[in-house]
């Protein structure tokens, strides 16, 4: 350092993304990260991903998150935390992904196995400059209503905000940290509550995930930062401390500067683009994968989904109902868009063309009377994108749209039903007034954002189980009589069913979906579970 150059205080830079379900923007994110490391560099650069990345996505449904972790390592993401959708994977698979991550995986309120660090202490400055210590914590939401079962294999999960406040106090009072930075994956209201409840010294910044929208807010002396989903944007947080330490007893806080950068502004890193393309081959091959075979006298049609019940609409709703364990499923006709009739087979490429939009499907307990009112409202407006398609266990009178039977029983307006539907319908999607009114009057009855599943991902798994039930009996598939069915035997069974060579991706999809034991073999028990599921929903003749 020259005599005329002013002394600089310790500094930290964090490049933040969250809720990344696609690999597409990682090559540009890597370039952004390299520039952030080189331009007016800080003492230390962190690159964080605040939860929800292994699931749910089409790629993760095929490779169980391997491609995502591989590309995170290549960026590199240096710090991550759990999101609620990491719990979508079987616990033993999640354990494998955790072991593959090369950065720091913070887990302050979840007692994970293998053990993960509850905190990390960063050392900034040093040499001829003063040094400080900064503590990091990372938490995932505690609200159990957002999880499908016992979260994370039944591991101990403590209230997020309480743990952050308690751990931060320990880091300040007993570990000599100047301040603490929390990474959180929870709803925006909980993050705001955490910042309002903090004690001195305040958090300079809270880096969060869960919402898919951008939030850059100042609350008191703290910043709340969420960069939005899929690394379309990255938030760059710069924290710089004064060159001179404050008087004894005074807080040692940085000046915090936050800006949002669009990854599209940065050129792609060629090596990471090649890595992404390699992982995405499986998804592209999936386009031709057969999800359903149709006999000569069968056909499916999506023609007229905005004005009448269609056979494809009924099938998709029925598969969603069964995949989510609901009594009833609804889907807006405007979200089923190809307007085609299918014979012989229905592929994943067909499913994508029919359902081009991403939609979160949730299951809500609703009175049957609301189902009746909503169905009649949606079908009384003529041709409309809000015309509701229903599953094959909803029977209505065609002219009045009166429900006659639902969920296998006569219509009872007082009955409470588990209804699978697009969550945004409660918030104005397609202007379904009865649902919007119910959501306003009973907000506590609406499943939290992020608690559902993306429709195509749920359907992909449902079609895989149902396709299995179209194959020959297990005993015929098990050609070598070893009590299990392997990949070769699956391929042979598909050929005998379709008279076409089995696509490797179809075999892979069946194996990934059915092989709950993860031993690369389908057992009689796994076969039985798939066939029971397939028996629930049949393609219409």
Give one word for 19, left, alpha or beta, with left for phi > 0 and alpha for psi -120 to 50: left
pLDDT at 541: 46
pLDDT digits (tens, 9 = 90+) for 13-72: 999 999 999 999 999 999 999 999 999 999 999 999 999 998 777 788 778 899 999 999
pLDDT at 538: 60
Q: What are the φ and ψ backbone dihedral angles of 368, each rounded to 5 degrees?
A: -60, -30
CA angle 519/537/153 to nearest 5° reads 40
d(CA 194, CA 186): 11
Q: Does a cis peptide bond (omega within 30 degrees of 0) precede residue 76?
A: yes
pLDDT digits (tens, 9 = 90+) for 408-439: 999 999 999 999 999 999 999 999 999 999 99
pLDDT at 1: 46
d(CA 279, CA 260): 28
Return the CATH superfamily for domain 471-534. Answer: EF-hand (1.10.238.10)
CA angle 285/283/462 to nearest 5° reads 100
Q: What is the pLDDT along the chain (541 residues), one digit of tens a residue?
A: 444 556 789 999 999 999 999 999 999 999 999 999 999 999 999 999 999 998 777 788 778 899 999 999 999 999 999 999 899 888 999 999 999 999 999 999 999 999 999 999 999 998 889 999 999 999 999 988 788 778 998 999 999 999 999 999 999 999 999 999 999 999 999 999 999 998 789 999 999 999 888 999 999 999 999 999 999 999 999 999 999 999 988 889 999 999 999 999 999 999 999 999 999 988 887 787 888 888 888 999 999 999 999 999 999 999 999 999 999 999 999 999 999 999 988 998 899 889 988 889 999 999 999 999 999 999 998 888 999 999 999 999 999 999 999 999 999 999 999 999 999 999 999 999 999 999 999 999 999 888 888 999 899 889 999 889 889 999 999 999 999 999 999 999 999 988 888 888 788 889 888 988 878 999 999 999 989 887 776 655 4
CA 247, 248, 253, 254 torsion-angle sign: positive
The hierarchical CATH code for the domain 295-454 is 3.90.780.10
pLDDT digits (tens, 9 = 90+) for 169-212: 999 999 999 999 999 999 999 999 999 998 789 999 999 999 88
- Per the CB < 8 A criterion, the answer to whether 158 and 170 are in contact is no
Structure tokens at 100: 């593959």
Q: What is the pTM of this model?
A: 0.77
Give the H or E element holding residue 398.
Answer: none
pLDDT at 6: 63
Question: By three-state DSSP, how is residue 81 classified?
Answer: strand
pLDDT at 55: 78
Question: By three-state DSSP, how is residue 413 classified?
Answer: coil
What residues does each domain of the chain span? 11-282, 295-454, 471-534
CA angle 323/324/330 to nearest 5° reads 95
Q: The tokens 């720091």 sit on which residue?
A: 104
pLDDT at 152: 94
Q: The tokens 């998709």 sit on which residue?
A: 316
pLDDT at 150: 87
The hierarchical CATH code for the domain 11-282 is 3.60.21.10
The DSSP call for residue 483 is S
Give DSSP secondary structure letters for 77-145: --EEE--GGGGGS-HHHHHHHHHH--SEEE-SSB--SS---SEEEEEEE-TTS-EEEEEEEEEE---GG
Give the H or E element holding residue 258.
Answer: strand 255-262
d(CA 158, CA 332): 38
Name the β-bridge partners of 405: 395, 410
Please classify residue 441 by burial: count the beta carbons closer than 10 Å to its beta carbon, then call 0-12 exposed, 13-18 middle and 19+ buried.
Answer: exposed
pLDDT at 537: 64
Structure tokens at 110: 């979840």
């Amino acid at each position: 350092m020259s005599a005329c150059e002013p002394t600089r205080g310790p500094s930290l830079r964090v490049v933040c993304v969250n809720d990344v379900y696609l690999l597409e923007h990682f090559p540009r994110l890597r370039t952004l990260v390299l520039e952030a490391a080189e331009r007016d560099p800080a003492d230390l650069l962190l690159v964080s991903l605040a939860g929800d990345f292994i699931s749910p996505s089409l790629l993760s449904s095929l490779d169980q998150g391997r491609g995502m972790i591989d590309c995170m390592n290549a960026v590199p993401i240096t710090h991550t935390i759990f999101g609620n959708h990491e719990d979508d994977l079987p616990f033993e698979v999640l354990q494998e992904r955790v072991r593959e991550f090369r950065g720091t995986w913070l887990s302050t309120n979840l007692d994970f196995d293998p053990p993960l660090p509850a905190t990390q202490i960063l050392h900034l400055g040093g040499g001829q400059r003063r040094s400080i210590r900064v503590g990091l914590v990372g938490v995932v939401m505690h609200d159990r209503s957002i999880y499908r079962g016992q979260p994370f294999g039944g591991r101990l999960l403590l209230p997020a905000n309480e743990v952050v406040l308690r751990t931060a106090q320990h880091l300040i009072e007993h570990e000599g940290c100047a301040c603490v930075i929390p990474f959180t994956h929870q709803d925006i209201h909980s993050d705001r509550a955490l910042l309002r409840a903090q004690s001195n010294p305040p958090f300079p910044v809270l880096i969060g995930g869960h919402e898919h929208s951008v939030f850059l807010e100042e609350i008191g002396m703290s910043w709340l930062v969420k960069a939005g989903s899929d690394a379309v944007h990255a938030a760059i947080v710069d924290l710089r401390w004064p060159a001179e330490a404050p008087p004894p007893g005074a807080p040692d806080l940085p000046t915090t500067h936050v800006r949002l950068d669009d990854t599209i502004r940065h050129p792609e890193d060629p090596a990471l683009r090649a890595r992404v393309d390699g992982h995405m081959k499986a998804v592209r091959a999936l386009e031709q994968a057969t999800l359903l075979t149709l006999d000569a006298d069968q056909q499916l049609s999506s023609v007229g989904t905005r004005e009448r019940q269609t056979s494809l609409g009924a099938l998709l709703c029925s598969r969603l109902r069964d995949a989510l364990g609901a009594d009833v499923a609804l889907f807006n006709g405007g979200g089923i868009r190809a307007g085609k009739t299918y014979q012989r087979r229905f592929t994943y490429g067909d499913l994508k063309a029919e359902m081009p939009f991403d939609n979160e499907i949730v299951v809500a307990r609703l009175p049957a009377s609301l189902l009746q009112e909503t169905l009649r409202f949606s079908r009384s407006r003529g041709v409309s994108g809000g015309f509701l398609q229903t599953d094959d266990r909803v029977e209505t009178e065609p002219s009045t749209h009166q429900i006659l039977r639902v969920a296998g029983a006569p219509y009872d307006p007082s009955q409470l039903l588990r209804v699978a539907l697009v969550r945004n319908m409660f918030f104005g999607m397609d202007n379904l007034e009865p649902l919007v009114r119910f959501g306003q009057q009973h907000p506590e009855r609406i499943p939290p954002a992020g608690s559902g599943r993306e429709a195509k991902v749920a359907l992909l798994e449902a079609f895989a189980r149902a396709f299995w039930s179209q194959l020959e009996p297990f005993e015929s598939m098990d050609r070598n009589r070893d009590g299990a069915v392997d990949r070769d035997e699956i391929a042979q069974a598909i050929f005998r069913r379709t008279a076409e060579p089995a696509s490797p991706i179809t075999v892979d999809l069946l194996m990934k979906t059915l092989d709950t034991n993860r031993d690369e073999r389908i057992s009689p028990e796994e076969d039985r579970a798939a066939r029971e599921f397939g028996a629930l929903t049949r393609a219409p003749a």
